[in-house]
């Protein structure tokens, strides 16, 4: 074909022009007035983390690692590791530090010199019957018998109660049941017993042991002997005991601290760092006012048999084969004998260490998601706390693998391995005291596991209400470790949990306990106002009405117990680690924080509802109560409105606007902080959370509006009604102001 034809020329020219203009057009289109491109990090900043990686994380958490020799419970439980010992503060600290360094971005050790307490190794504590001539008979066991053979028992610490005052005292024995305030009031009011100078024999259970000692001292006792009754530790004729079953044998003794405060008692409110000012040990009043030491029930029955006095009421009876009597003193031929208490427990300054492992957040490194567990144990600690420690080590490894695959969370994650929890939450408290200014501003939540597994019936949890939703949604993602439950159609941890204990105000939610004090979350919640959770897998609380698993704080909390009796195959440990990991990853990854303020309203309404109930019972008081509580109730109503508004805002927020997101997230964090009163709860300034501080008569308990609850306690029987109601009014005022503050932070401009 000849190229010169007009048609061809037309076509060629047209094509050439077209190509030329096409290219020019593209270039113009691309560059002329083109918008600036969005930087890559900007997109990342506005996107939730990949939720598929949550599945990967869960797969990474393996049972064999939790139990294996290297990074597992086996390593932690091989030897005793009491706080302040070389095993605990050197070998295990180094191990944890190296593991964190290996798997995470970095790790750091925080050391504190603090007051710790020990029994005298060469002069053990004991109790005995002292005859009139001074001879001691029926001397209690000074060491806990060795049972099972799976560990190195050479450094087991003999039974003692930490921070007992040392002392040798004699007196008439009295049996004081659980040593609650009600028990002592019964003896003094109903039985008109004079307890001055007596030795109180109290069974473990129901309340914090330190409060038993406090009550005994208040009523004039000269000393306290604590023991574990089969009714609480070898229930219902279960005489198959450790090492054949999980029940406590008669030789087993529960150790434990009686310290009434948290953290180093020599440096209240400040951290025990190099520059610390230490109180003189002689000047502090936190050591127990009277000596105390614990014994097993093989010993206790010997003294109970001798007791004189009237029979106790049925609720006071334990399950030892003896007639429980009140005392005081012994029956013939021992009517002139006394009970003797020989306590050489001492306190001294030693170093305790926290190991912190870090994953640095990509977009908000200054927002911290903290997970924590303590490392120290009274003896082998296979349940308390090494079940939790192993779960955390595995979690660190699993998160480390995600990091290697390129994942990095939006926010920072910190793995906190605490020292000296058993002595009085000392490692975690000193750390929070040291870092209060950063944690107070930056911590999103603290997720605690102390004991990971103490049974295999169901999950239980305590939490601040803003984490209820996250807890439930996360538990729905974790597969049920119990095949029988799965066979019943309960596929997830959540299903069994809900079936076991539905909440009384929302049947779609499982019961979640109020969180107050008792493990390492305390300082986070009470000093800094940081949202907290505490989770564990537990035994059936319906089948066993006991205060703790039977071998708690005894020398029989061993690897054999856990691997042979409590969690063969470590599936329950795995489930807890998974739940823990899912919660941490969700909080660290999602653009909007998973802090849900709507649950607070339901929780806070509990208090007015209880007051209303009381009013129905006693119509005379109606007017007084209405006047006093009117404002609190109206503020609560205001709170509910703020909460609705915030909830609305959250649904309308522009996820892609990083400052808008940050602002709302900050407000959600501020809500919990708003409940902190820097002056503390009346009479207990170390607790600062006006909603969830522990109850006055049991540090393990938790009540809402503790100041108000304390002020109202037994108010009907007080002779000075005017003064008492003034105290109530003052507490109402504090509570109302707190609610007002918390409603305020939900606005962006005040």
Quick one: which segment of 86-94, 163-171, 483-491, 663-671 binds a copy of itself (CB under 8 A)? 663-671
Q: Residue 538 CB, nearest distance to a copy of itself (Å)?
A: 34
Is 342 or 635 the residue whose CB approaches a copy of itself more closely?
Answer: 635
Residue choice 1, 2, 3, 6 for contact with a copy of itself (CB under 8 A)? 6
Nearest of 196, 470, 176, 186 to residue 326 by alpha carbon: 176
Binding string to a copy of itself for residues 104 to 133, with x set by CB under 8 A, is what?
A: ------------------------------
What element of type H or E holds 398?
A: helix 386-404
Pick out residues in 712-731 that bind a copy of itself (CB under 8 A): 729-730
> How far apart (Å, rounded) are the C-alpha atoms in residues 745 and 525?
18
Q: Residue 348 CB, nearest distance to a copy of itself (Å)?
A: 21
Residue choice 269, 348, 506, 641 for contact with a copy of itself (CB under 8 A)? 269
Cα torsion 493, 495, 501, 505: sign: positive
Pick out residues in 587-616 that bind a copy of itself (CB under 8 A): none
Is 308 or 436 the residue whose CB approaches a copy of itself more closely?
Answer: 436
> How far apart (Å, rounded) are the C-alpha atoms in residues 588 and 413?
7
Q: Residue 633 CB, nearest distance to a copy of itself (Å)?
A: 11
Pick out residues in 392-421 that bind a copy of itself (CB under 8 A): 412
Nearest of 344, 381, 371 to residue 118 by alpha carbon: 344
CA dist 269 → 262, 370, 431, 532 (Å): 10, 21, 11, 20
Q: Residue 15 CB, nearest distance to a copy of itself (Å)?
A: 7
| Residues facing residue 533 across a β-bridge | 447, 463
Binding status of residue 94 toward a copy of itself by CB under 8 A: no
Binding string to a copy of itself for residues 344 to 373, with x set by CB under 8 A, is what?
A: --------------x-x--xxxx-x-----
Binding string to a copy of itself for residues 623 to 662, with x set by CB under 8 A, is what?
A: --------xx--x--------------------xxxx--x
Is 365 or 502 the residue whose CB approaches a copy of itself more closely?
Answer: 365
Residue choice 109, 270, 317, 351 for contact with a copy of itself (CB under 8 A)? 270
Q: Residue 57 CB, nearest distance to a copy of itself (Å)?
A: 21
Pick out residues in 492-531 that bind a copy of itself (CB under 8 A): none
Pick out residues in 543-572 that bind a copy of itself (CB under 8 A): none
Pick out residues in 664-703 that bind a copy of itself (CB under 8 A): 666-667, 670, 673-674, 678-679
Nearest of 561, 138, 600, 90 to residue 355 by alpha carbon: 90
Pick out residues in 222-241 that bind a copy of itself (CB under 8 A): none
Pick out residues in 418-477 that bind a copy of itself (CB under 8 A): 434-439, 441
Quick one: which segment of 30-38, 144-152, 166-174, 384-392 binds a copy of itself (CB under 8 A)? 30-38
Is 42 or 239 the residue whose CB approaches a copy of itself more closely?
Answer: 42
Q: Residue 13 CB, nearest distance to a copy of itself (Å)?
A: 5
Q: Residue 593 CB, nearest distance to a copy of itself (Å)?
A: 14
Residue choice 26, 70, 543, 715 for contact with a copy of itself (CB under 8 A)? 26
Is 253 or 739 the residue whose CB approaches a copy of itself more closely?
Answer: 739
Q: Residue 640 CB, nearest distance to a copy of itself (Å)?
A: 16
**Preceding amide of 333 cis, omega within 30:** yes
Q: Residue 736 CB, nearest distance to a copy of itself (Å)?
A: 4
> How far apart (Å, rounded) are the C-alpha atoms in residues 738 and 746?
13
Residue choice 147, 276, 295, 561 for contact with a copy of itself (CB under 8 A)? 276
**Preceding amide of 385 cis, omega within 30:** yes
> How far apart (Å, rounded) are the C-alpha atoms in residues 532 and 471?
11
Residues in the chain: 750
> How far apart (Å, rounded) are the C-alpha atoms in residues 310 and 19?
111
**Preceding amide of 328 cis, omega within 30:** yes
DSSP single-letter state for residue 112? E
CB-based contact 291:117 (threshold 8 Å):
no
Residue choice 1, 37, 122, 504 for contact with a copy of itself (CB under 8 A)? 37
| Residues facing residue 462 across a β-bridge | 513, 534
Cα torsion 656, 659, 665, 667: sign: negative
CA torsion 435-439-445-446 (nearest 10°) is 10
Q: Residue 675 CB, nearest distance to a copy of itself (Å)?
A: 9
Is 45 or 561 the residue whose CB approaches a copy of itself more closely?
Answer: 45
B/e letters for 393-419, b = 16+ CB within 10 Å, e = fewer, are bbbbbbbbebeeeebbbbbbbbbbbbb
Q: Residue 599 CB, nearest distance to a copy of itself (Å)?
A: 20
Question: Residue holding tokens 């050591």?
Answer: 287
Nearest of 166, 170, 169 to residue 131 by alpha carbon: 170
Pick out residues in 731-750 that bind a copy of itself (CB under 8 A): 732-734, 736-737, 740-742, 744-745, 747-750
Is 317 or 360 the residue whose CB approaches a copy of itself more closely?
Answer: 360
3-state secondary structure of 79: coil
Question: Residue holding tokens 């049925």?
Answer: 314
Is 105 or 479 the residue whose CB approaches a copy of itself more closely?
Answer: 105
CB-based contact 550:250 (threshold 8 Å):
no
Q: Residue 445 CB, nearest distance to a copy of itself (Å)?
A: 16
| Residues facing residue 199 across a β-bridge | 173, 223
Other C-beta atoms lying within 10 Å of the C-beta of residue 652? 6
Pick out residues in 41-80 that bind a copy of itself (CB under 8 A): 41-43, 45
201 exposure class (CB count in 10 Å sphere: 0-12, 13-18, 19+): buried
Q: Residue 589 CB, nearest distance to a copy of itself (Å)?
A: 15
Q: Residue 221 CB, nearest distance to a copy of itself (Å)?
A: 34
Pick out residues in 283-322 that bind a copy of itself (CB under 8 A): none
Over 124-180, what HEC string results?
CCEEEEECCCCCEECCCCCCCCCCCCCCCHHHCCCCCEECCCCEEEEECEEECCCCC
Residue choice 2, 35, 133, 489 for contact with a copy of itself (CB under 8 A)? 35
Is 343 or 371 the residue whose CB approaches a copy of itself more closely?
Answer: 371
Q: Residue 458 CB, nearest distance to a copy of itself (Å)?
A: 36
Nearest of 592, 599, 587, 590 to residue 643 by alpha carbon: 599
Q: Residue 748 CB, nearest distance to a copy of itself (Å)?
A: 5
Question: Residue holding tokens 């230490």?
Answer: 278
Residue choice 663, 715, 718, 721 for contact with a copy of itself (CB under 8 A)? 663
Q: Residue 705 CB, nearest distance to a copy of itself (Å)?
A: 14
Residue choice 1, 2, 3, 30 for contact with a copy of itself (CB under 8 A)? 30
Task: Give, rounded to a whole angstrom, the gap between the first and last alpha carbons of the chain.
Answer: 84
CB-based contact 571:63 (threshold 8 Å):
yes
Quick one: which segment of 17-25, 96-104, 313-321, 380-388 binds a copy of itself (CB under 8 A)? 17-25
Q: Residue 678 CB, nearest distance to a copy of itself (Å)?
A: 4
> How far apart (Å, rounded) are the C-alpha atoms in residues 232 and 226?
13
Number of residues counted as binding a copy of itself (CB under 8 A): 89
Is 89 or 364 the residue whose CB approaches a copy of itself more closely?
Answer: 364
Nearest of 587, 735, 710, 592 to residue 654 by alpha carbon: 592
Quick one: which segment of 117-125, 239-247, 263-271, 562-570 binds a copy of itself (CB under 8 A)? 263-271
């Amino acid at each position: 074909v000849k190229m010169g034809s007009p048609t061809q020329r037309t076509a060629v020219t047209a094509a050439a022009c077209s190509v030329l203009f096409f290219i020019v057009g593209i270039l113009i289109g691309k560059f002329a007035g083109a918008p600036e491109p969005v930087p890559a990090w900007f997109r990342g900043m506005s996107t939730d983390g990949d939720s598929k990686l949550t599945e990967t994380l869960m797969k990474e958490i393996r049972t064999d690692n939790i139990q294996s020799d290297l990074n597992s419970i086996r390593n932690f439980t091989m030897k005793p590791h009491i706080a302040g010992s070389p095993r605990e503060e050197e070998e295990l600290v180094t191990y944890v530090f190296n593991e964190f360094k290996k798997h995470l971005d970095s790790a750091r050790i925080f050391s504190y010199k603090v007051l710790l307490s020990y029994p005298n190794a060469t002069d053990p504590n004991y109790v005995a019957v002292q005859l009139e001539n001074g001879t001691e008979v029926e001397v209690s066991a000074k060491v806990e018998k060795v049972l099972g053979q799976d560990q190195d028992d050479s450094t087991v610490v003999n039974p003692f109660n930490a921070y007992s005052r040392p002392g040798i005292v004699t007196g008439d024995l009295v049996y004081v049941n659980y040593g609650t305030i009600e028990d002592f009031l019964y003896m003094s009011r109903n039985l008109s017993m004079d307890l001055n100078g007596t030795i109180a024999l109290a069974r473990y259970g129901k309340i914090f042991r330190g409060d038993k000692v406090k009550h005994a001292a208040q009523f004039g006792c000269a000393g306290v002997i604590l023991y574990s009754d089969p009714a609480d530790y070898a229930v219902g004729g279960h005489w198959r005991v450790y090492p054949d079953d999980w029940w406590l044998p008669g030789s087993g003794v529960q150790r434990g601290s009686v310290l009434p405060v948290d953290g180093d008692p020599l440096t209240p409110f400040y951290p025990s760092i190099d520059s610390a000012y230490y109180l003189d040990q002689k000047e502090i009043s936190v050591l127990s006012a009277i000596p105390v030491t614990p014994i097993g029930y093989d010993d206790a029955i010997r003294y109970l048999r001798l007791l004189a006095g009237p029979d106790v009421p049925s609720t006071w009876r334990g399950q030892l084969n003896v007639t429980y009597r009140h005392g005081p003193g012994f029956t013939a031929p021992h009517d002139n004998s006394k009970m003797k208490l020989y306590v050489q427990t001492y306190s001294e300054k030693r170093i305790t260490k926290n190991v912190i492992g870090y994953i640095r957040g990509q977009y908000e490194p200054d927002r911290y998601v903290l997970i924590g567990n303590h490392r120290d144990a009274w003896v082998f600690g296979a349940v308390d706390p090494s079940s939790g420690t192993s779960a955390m080590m595995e979690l660190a490894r699993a998160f480390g693998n995600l990091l290697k695959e390129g994942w990095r969370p939006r926010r920072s994650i910190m793995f906190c391995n605490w020292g000296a929890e058993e002595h009085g939450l000392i490692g975690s408290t000193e750390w929070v005291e040291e870092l209060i200014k950063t944690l107070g501003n930056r911590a999103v939540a603290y997720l605690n596991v102390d004991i990971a597994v103490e049974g295999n019936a169901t999950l239980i949890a305590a939490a601040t209400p803003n984490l209820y939703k996250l807890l439930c949604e996360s538990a729905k993602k974790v597969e049920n470790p119990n095949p029988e439950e799965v066979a019943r159609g309960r596929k997830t941890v959540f299903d069994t949990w809900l079936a076991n204990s539905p909440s009384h105000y929302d049947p779609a939610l499982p019961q979640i306990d109020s969180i107050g004090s008792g493990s390492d979350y305390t300082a986070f919640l009470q000093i800094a106002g940081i949202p907290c959770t505490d989770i564990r897998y537990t035994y059936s609380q319906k089948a066993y009405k006991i205060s703790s698993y039977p071998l708690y704080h005894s020398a029989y909390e061993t690897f054999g117990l856990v691997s042979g009796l409590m969690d063969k195959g470590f599936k329950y440990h795995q489930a807890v680690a998974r739940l823990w990991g899912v919660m941490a990853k969700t909080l660290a990854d999602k653009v909007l924080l998973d802090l849900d303020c709507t649950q607070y309203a339901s929780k806070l309404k509990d208090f007015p509802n209880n007051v209303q109930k009381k009013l129905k019972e006693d119509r005379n008081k109606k007017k007084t109560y209405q006047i006093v509580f009117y404002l609190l109730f109206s503020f609560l109503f205001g709170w509910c409105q703020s909460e609705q508004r915030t909830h609305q805002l959250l649904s309308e927020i522009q996820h892609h606007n990083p400052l808008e997101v940050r602002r709302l997230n900050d407000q959600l964090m501020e809500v919990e902080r708003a409940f902190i009163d820097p002056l503390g709860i009346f009479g207990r300034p170390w607790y600062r959370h006006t909603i969830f501080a522990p109850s006055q008569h049991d540090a393990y308990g938790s009540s809402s509006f503790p100041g108000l609850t304390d002020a109202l306690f037994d108010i009907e029987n007080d002779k000075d009604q005017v003064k008492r109601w003034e105290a109530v009014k003052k507490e109402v005022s504090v509570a109302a102001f707190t609610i007002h503050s918390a409603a305020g932070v939900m606005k962006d401009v005040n």
